[in-house]
């Protein structure tokens, strides 16, 4: 080839290679921004070992035992997970799964020319997951702590692989955020007074899990995802006062009253979700 044609030919070849590379880049399914909506089942972590703990002298240590005037453990019937079926007997209707939903916006990017995909996302969710723990006294009476994770706002990273032609993505994800926890307390004890300190607050937590997506078209995809979530819940305390109870009431024997709280200061739950994803 004549030298005068060599430079234009080389330039054309370089342009074609560059165009091919850009076309391949543009053909990737998991490059760029997306929005997603999910629905699923939210289930509280098994809480069979959770109990109500007591601070009978209000020194800030919840390791005391509420005792009757005869020295007997006033909560000897025990505790169970769920809402009570009868007073004085440790029998509960267990916690149940609830429906939840979420929306998110995110951005994914292939790392280099391989199948590895990294991304970030911001999610707003309404899990609606509920958990109850009940205790039973010899009076007989029942005492139930309830909590519901009402809203959650989280940010997560994710890392995955899109094998083959890149239409599917398998990934792990993790991050943190805030959740609003609504709390409740109920009892069949009508003699003492009960004063909760904080029925609703936003708490810090973290999430981790994984999932898979498959693109049905260039822009529309579906997915399945599992998430484990854990949020702090150490602030809720119920103060028990005298009310109309006599001074010999077990809650009053070591001072003017007793403070109650849950032994488990984390609100943990599982999420199993299906998603619809739109990519731009």
DSSP codes, 64-101: B--B-TTS-BTTTTEEEESEESSTTS--EEPP--EEEE
- 24 and 131 part of one domain: no
Catalogue the long-range contacts made by 129-132 (C-beta closer than 8 Å, 24 or more residues apart): 129/42, 129/43, 129/44, 129/98, 129/100, 129/269, 130/44, 130/95, 130/96, 130/98, 131/44, 131/47, 131/81, 131/95, 131/267, 131/269, 132/81, 132/82, 132/83, 132/92, 132/95
pTM for the structure as a whole: 0.84
- 147 and 14 part of one domain: no
CA dihedral (5, 7, 13, 16) in degrees, to 10, reads -110
- 19 and 71 part of one domain: no
- 91 and 18 part of one domain: no
Q: Return the pLDDT at 27.
A: 74
- 148 and 270 part of one domain: yes
- 149 and 206 part of one domain: yes
Q: Return the pLDDT at 28.
A: 87
Q: Return the pLDDT at 13.
A: 38
Please report how many Cα atoms fall inside a 13 Å half-sphere around the Cα of residue 134, on the Cβ side: 24
69 Cα distance to chain centroid: 42
- Contact present, 95 and 44 (Cβ < 8 Å): yes
Q: Return the pLDDT at 219.
A: 95
- 41 and 9 part of one domain: no
- Contact present, 153 and 192 (Cβ < 8 Å): no
In which domain, by residue range, is 47 found?
A: 31-279
Per-residue pLDDT of the chain (280 residues; tens, 9 = 90+): 444 434 444 443 343 333 334 434 457 899 999 999 999 999 998 777 899 999 999 999 999 999 999 999 999 999 999 999 987 788 999 888 899 999 999 999 999 989 999 999 999 999 989 999 999 999 999 999 999 999 999 999 999 999 998 999 999 999 999 999 999 999 999 999 999 998 899 999 999 999 999 999 999 999 999 999 999 998 899 999 999 999 999 999 998 999 999 999 999 999 999 999 999 9
- Total count of domains within the chain: 2
CATH code, domain with 136: 2.40.160.20
Q: Return the pLDDT at 26.
A: 53
């Amino acid at each position: 080839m004549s030298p005068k044609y060599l430079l234009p030919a080389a330039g054309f070849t370089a342009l074609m290679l560059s165009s091919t590379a850009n076309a391949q880049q543009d053909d990737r399914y998991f490059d760029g921004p997306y929005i997603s909506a999910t629905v699923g089942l939210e289930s509280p972590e098994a809480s069979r070992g959770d109990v109500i703990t007591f601070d009978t002298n209000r020194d800030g240590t919840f390791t005391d035992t509420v005792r009757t005037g005869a020295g007997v453990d006033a909560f000897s019937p025990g505790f169970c997970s769920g809402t009570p079926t009868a007073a004085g007997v440790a029998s509960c209707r267990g916690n149940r799964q609830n429906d939840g939903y979420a929306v998110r916006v995110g951005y994914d990017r292939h790392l280099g020319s391989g199948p590895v995909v990294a991304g970030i996302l911001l999610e707003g969710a309404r899990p609606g997951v509920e958990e109850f723990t009940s205790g039973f006294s010899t009076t007989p009476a029942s005492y139930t702590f309830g909590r519901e994770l009402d809203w959650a706002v989280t940010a997560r990273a994710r890392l995955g692989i899109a094998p083959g032609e890149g239409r599917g993505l398998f990934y792990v994800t993790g991050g943190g955020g805030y959740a609003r926890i609504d709390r409740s307390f109920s009892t069949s004890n009508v003699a003492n007074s009960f004063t909760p300190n904080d029925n609703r607050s936003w708490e810090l937590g973290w999430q981790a899990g994984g999932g898979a997506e498959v693109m049905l078209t260039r822009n529309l995809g579906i997915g399945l995802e599992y998430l484990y979530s854990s949020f702090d819940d150490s602030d809720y305390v119920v103060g028990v006062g005298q009310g109309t109870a006599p001074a010999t009431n077990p809650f009053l024997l070591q001072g003017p009253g007793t403070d109650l709280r849950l032994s488990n200061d984390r609100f943990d739950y599982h999420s199993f979700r299906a998603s619809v994803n739109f990519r731009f």
